[in-house]
Amino acid sequence: MMIQLLFLVPLIAVDYGASMKLVTRIVGGRCADQGEIPYQVSLQMQINGIDQHICGGVILDKNYVLTAAHCVSPPNGNASDMSVVAGTIDLKTPLSRHLIQSIFVHEEYIPPSLIYDIALLRLLSPLKLSSRICPVDLPKQNQAVKAGSIAEVSGFGIITVEGKEGEERLYVVDNIITNETYCEETYNRVANLTIEHSQICANHPFVQKGACMVFIPFSPSGNVGFVTLPKQDETVQEGAKVFGFGRLSIYLRNKAIATILMPNGSESRILQKATIYIAKQDYCNEMYNKILYNIYNTHICAKHQPRILQLSGPLIVNGKLVGLVSWVEACVSLQYTDSSFHFCGGSILNDNYVITAAHCAKAIESPSNVKVIAGTINLIDPKSEHNVIKIIIHEEYDALNSWINDIALLQVETPFIISTTVGHVPLPPKDYVVKANDIAIVSGWGRLWQGGPTTVRLQRVNIFIADHAYCRYIYNQMNYNIYPTQVCAYDSTIEKGSCHGDSGGPLTIGGKLIGLVSWANGCASTSYPTVYTNVASYLNWITTNTA
């Protein structure tokens, strides 16, 4: 089981070598054109007398290839058994194969650590550079990677989780670089992983694209092997440690291509490519802080590029399309300025402020990186767009303590103009008490189900307030606390409720803002209620910070 912020679910796109065959996987990509990625190579190993793809790599010059240290470290690090294939998008037709003369693993790389996961391969014979085989451009020393920027990831893998397409082609897919603070926050809470400045996070919150989920089991003998990520509610074999989850990927800052293991997928011999957005480093740190390994400043976080216009399906799980009713007038979409990518929801408090979740605000590098879309139920047709000039996060927000105080305010540059489609959300009275079994409405532009599709249309669904004692009990079994400043809601009979992309959005009763979508164990579970920030507990804080 996994606890998830309802914004995005991350994964680590680096895995470690084992005596078994390694595979590289790109999800949701497209076939690369010949010569489109001339720096991409396939690192191959002789297994039972057959050359098999184990990792990707990039050409630095005619003599050297850059790859991940875990790809060439023992037991895989035998140069005589390995070769590099360059100049092809189809491994069935290798254009140029070169033996490896020497392997140089970073002297501070110590498996299974993720830090310094980088290596150089010196080729026995030089590459013949051409339009299909040429070096990659390296960044400047310590070049900053901006959250929200677009990057590309490529590799020989499959383009669907089922592994039914693309077994023989190189693929590419667009990703978005992820805010580092958010990245580290999630992993810090789940598995004690720290994201370092040498690492970058990337993912796509809504579309299954890019690197896949990976588990790394540690056997009693100390050997490292692979198991595919289990589905929701499945268990991992004894002794296994979670290496990554969701779809947030970590990359080395020097553009090395990372290897991943695809659940339920088969090996592909076709290069794939992806465009991703660079994430803010402290956001990435916050997400990965508790996932077994430290993320260092030699890594970069990224996430997939959104393609809103190509998506379809409802957003709230088992919800209904929204018509224009009073409380919908206050619903807003928080989007990255450069990409117009929806990543969280929110509500209009007054002419100048929007209320949302703190973990959403933590994903924003600076006010200039986010905009507020108001007055619409269809993101294809935004009616009112507002720049953000100030972000106020609750000073006692703590992602390591069940995301307590998960509340934030955004001040917009130009005031909201009240109309038939734009309005304020009413707040509850100070002494308001949420009662178990009360019917509430949650709305947002999130996923249809965990890992499912999204749509541009705002959705809503009726759910029930959960008994607070029950919610506290069920999450205490997972070592999470539920506080009086939090509200739980779900439907115990049907999977419906909020999901990824709904974070920060409103939970209302009688048209009043009762809660903010915060976190849950899975999406719309019938066993585990979703946890919301109890707005009535923060009325003084809201008044003080919006005065």
138: which residues sit within 8 A by CB, 6+ positions away?
60, 254, 255
Token pair, residue 372, equals 């507020």
Distance, in Å, from the CA atom of 136 to the CA atom of 508, rounded to the nearest integer, reads: 52
Cα–Cα nearest to 68, from 226, 256, 195, 224: 256
Catalytic residues: 359, 406, 503
Cα–Cα nearest to 116, from 295, 302, 301: 295
Distance, in Å, from the CA atom of 341 to the CA atom of 370, rounded to the nearest integer, reads: 9
Distance, in Å, from the CA atom of 377 to the CA atom of 505, rounded to the nearest integer, reads: 13
Q: Give the side-chain half-sphere CA count within 13 A for 76.
A: 28
Token pair, residue 335, equals 């989007």
483: which residues sit within 8 A by CB, 6+ positions away?
402, 404
Token pair, residue 547, equals 């005065």
CA 170 vs. chain centroid, Å, equals: 23
Q: Which phi and psi (to 5°) does residue 359 adopt?
A: -70, -25
Task: Give the CA dihedral 328, 331, 337, 341, nearest 10 degrees.
Answer: -70
